[in-house]
Structure 1
């Protein structure tokens, strides 16, 4: 088996079975990696980047997704540092580093001196999961969205992204690509929302990625003038129930540690903390 420095080499379609066997050791935390592998077959042209694998004794022991997002997968401190050393040989091409807290910290400590000052760093984000029914009733008005809802859904997605990330997804001419992403989620049945009597969107959430084992929620948003009324709790209960019934048996997400209202809403639904993530944005 041809490997490079530190026992790392790019993975390809021939490595798919070994990769899936690796991520299934923690299928909820690794749902993004699992989803990317199953939808691309680890074919670089579909990955839009590379998937690095680290080997020990001929076995795949850790991996790292290197695309727009860099995501360490099943990486120990040593693995993450090794991936960081490899990353230093090519310079920063990613916009975000995200994943389990310990691995992200080890990777970042390796590359920080060369990759420049990040725009934002969010350590210790609680990773939450729900593997049973929600413990509160869901909002019966929550439903899947479709193209006819785009005039309401798209601005809410832009507002949520801007509020969460600190920059609009339309910045730098990104509106067309972002709109295509919103429509893609709709077409998959992964976009959910509730609307008031006038047809105005008041709550939304999407499934970001899914595997046979788990689905990860993103983009949870309540319009500002409707906050504090429990819409996030009942909305997420409804979404979680649909997702568990029709997409995957476990629902997961991660949230900023400082976002106390959101954390309380998820706790009321029945989500429990299972790990800590961290995110570094450039």
Structure 2
């Protein structure tokens, strides 16, 4: 039975890891919005047929990662970038391709217009959402002509210099501290414990730590610097969820930004996040690199924090939770 009507949609082209040039060129039209898909397809040395698809291999107008979750890009027109979009037939073809691949606890996520284009067909075919988040501002950290982002914050909060100095890549020895903090962040964000249904989330956190993508600040458990031999806890964490050496400069997308609840409102998260941006620029991105993130529109505290650091909005993401 064809849940998407009698007229057959145009076929999509499955891509393998040797056929990514066109898809990456598509993502490069808007690298801050396209970094998540570009990172995803470059991360894996291989995947099953149909996990990555496009409407054309050499010059695609749209493409997607389509497994238990769906990450579309390019479906909607972006006239300001000279991109005509892929059209409704391609959006319907992608919906039909993804319909039986999507799983419970999966998602459809990406630039809002692309998510809307494919979700229209998925919902019409009977796919139900657990929650729909259509307003997730996509933000970028300010470019500085001199100094550091943390330096500007510390001018107002000099007593928190220890927090800026203490931000570092999590080590494997710190992973037992990082995992509970990551679970708390995830549970607060999505409403369920990701470890309750298996070990995949713990493996993901382990990969973030092992690949140097998880940045943390430790304290003594009470908001003071951690001593060499005393108690230690995660005060703040942020992950580099996506990283891509795009043609115009490397782009990092931060995910999992979290400050321990008892420390919120004390400035520690602001200082630590600024320090993460500085460290990324120094060690991984260079002067032309971009640090981005997206945040739920209902997260007033997060929006206020990013605004105070000078983050500016460059677009909108959407996430449909299944």
Superposition TM-score, scaled by structure 2 size: 0.78
* Alpha-carbon shift at residue 67 of structure 1 (Å): 1.9
Residue 44 (1) aligns with residue 47 (2) = yes
Measured in 2, the distance between the counterparts of 1:151 and 1:8 equals: 43
Measured in 1, the distance between the counterparts of 2:97 and 2:62 equals: 19
* Alpha-carbon shift at residue 74 of structure 1 (Å): 2.1
Aligned to 1:168: 193
Aligned to 2:269: 232
Measured in 2, the distance between the counterparts of 1:72 and 1:124 equals: 17
Structure 2: runs of 5 or more not aligned: 1-7, 78-84, 155-162, 221-230
Of 11, 19, 23 in structure 1, the residue corresponding to residue 23 of structure 2 is 19
Give the conservation status (yes or no) of the 8 Å contact 2:95–2:122: yes
SS of residue paired to 2:237: strand
Give the conservation status (yes or no) of the 8 Å contact 2:94–2:118: no
Measured in 1, the distance between the counterparts of 2:271 and 2:205 equals: 23
Aligned to 1:68: 68
Cα 1:150/1:216, change in 2 over 3 Å: same
Give the conservation status (yes or no) of the 8 Å contact 2:175–2:209: no
Measured in 2, the distance between the counterparts of 1:241 and 1:90 equals: 39
Cα 1:145/1:14, change in 2 over 3 Å: closer
Please list the CA deviations of residues 171-226 of structure 1 after superposition, one character each: whole Å capped at 9, or x if unmatched.
22x2x222221111111111111121331211111111101120111111111111
Please list the CA deviations of residues 1-28 of structure 1 after superposition, one character each: whole Å capped at 9, or x if unmatched.
xxx9425321223422222221111112
Report how many aligned residue pairs link the two structures: 273
More strand by share: 1
Aligned to 1:158: 183
Structure 1: runs of 5 or more not aligned: none
Measured in 2, the distance between the counterparts of 1:59 and 1:178 equals: 35
Give the conservation status (yes or no) of the 8 Å contact 1:210–1:247: no
Aligned to 1:271: 311
Name the stretch that deviates more: 209-218 or 142-151: 142-151
Mark the structure with the bigger radius of gyration: 2
Aligned to 2:291: 251
SS of residue paired to 1:60: coil
* Alpha-carbon shift at residue 80 of structure 1 (Å): 6.5
Aligned to 2:228: none
Measured in 2, the distance between the counterparts of 1:39 and 1:236 equals: 25
Please list the CA deviations of residues 229-262 of structure 1 after superposition, one character each: whole Å capped at 9, or x if unmatched.
1222111101111112222311111100010110
Instruction: Show the 5 A alignment for 1:97-246.
Output: 97-130=108-141, 132-133=143-144, 134=149, 135-137=152-154, 139-172=164-197, 174=198, 176-197=199-220, 198-212=231-245, 213-246=250-283
Residue 85 (1) aligns with residue 88 (2) = no
Measured in 2, the distance between the counterparts of 1:150 and 1:203 equals: 14
* Alpha-carbon shift at residue 151 of structure 1 (Å): 2.4
Please list the CA deviations of residues 29-56 of structure 1 after superposition, one character each: whole Å capped at 9, or x if unmatched.
1111211232336x434xx851111249
Superposition TM-score, scaled by structure 1 size: 0.88
SS of residue paired to 2:33: coil
